[in-house]
Amino acid sequence: MKLVDLSRKAVSLLKDAGEKGINKIELAEKLKVPRRRVYDIIAILRSTELIEYKREKGGTTIFWKSIPSIESLSVPVDPSANIEQQKSEISKLERENADLKDKIKRMREDLAKGTSEKTTKKQQFDTSEIAVRAAKSLKISEVVSSGIEVIIKANGKGIIVEPKS
């Protein structure tokens, strides 16, 4: 007999035994199989938490656990209600996404404004040398020196000036 068929018979016997349960040896006798087959069935049922067991002097007694009924599970009965809830959640997330994109756009604009304001301010360094370099993606395109001032041009915004120590 296949293990699946034995398991079905064992489940039926366990349910019929009720609250008093059934002994492993008694279960093997009723199923007319060796005890090792009963141990396989019990291991499967224990792993799925469908049975409980209690060790006693005369052997181990097995009890069937009741499975929660479908009504007690929190599954929505009306699938259209679930669809409406998901649509509502999607529209909420889309609004949130749009708000975040606007916020990112504003922050980038503020950052660009803040950078240009910094570059227009004059800064005095307590040193006789300074280092001028272009940001990563930029190149210095022209350097003009009059002896009093140096004009440095780059192919975009992002020139960095640092005092040299």
Whole-number average pLDDT of the chain:
81
Quick: pLDDT tens for 134-152. Answer: 877 788 889 999 988 888 8
What are the residue boundaries of the structural domains of the chain, listed by start? 3-64, 118-165
pLDDT digits (tens, 9 = 90+) for 55-107: 887 778 888 886 655 445 555 566 777 888 899 999 999 999 999 999 999 88
Amino acid at 126: D
As its CATH architecture, domain 3-64 has Orthogonal Bundle (1.10)
Share of residues in the chain with pLDDT > 90 (%):
11
pTM of the model: 0.39
Instruction: Compare 123 and 131 and report the one with higher pLDDT.
Output: 131
The pair of structure tokens assigned to 143 is 């350097």
| pLDDT at 70 (0 to 100) | 47
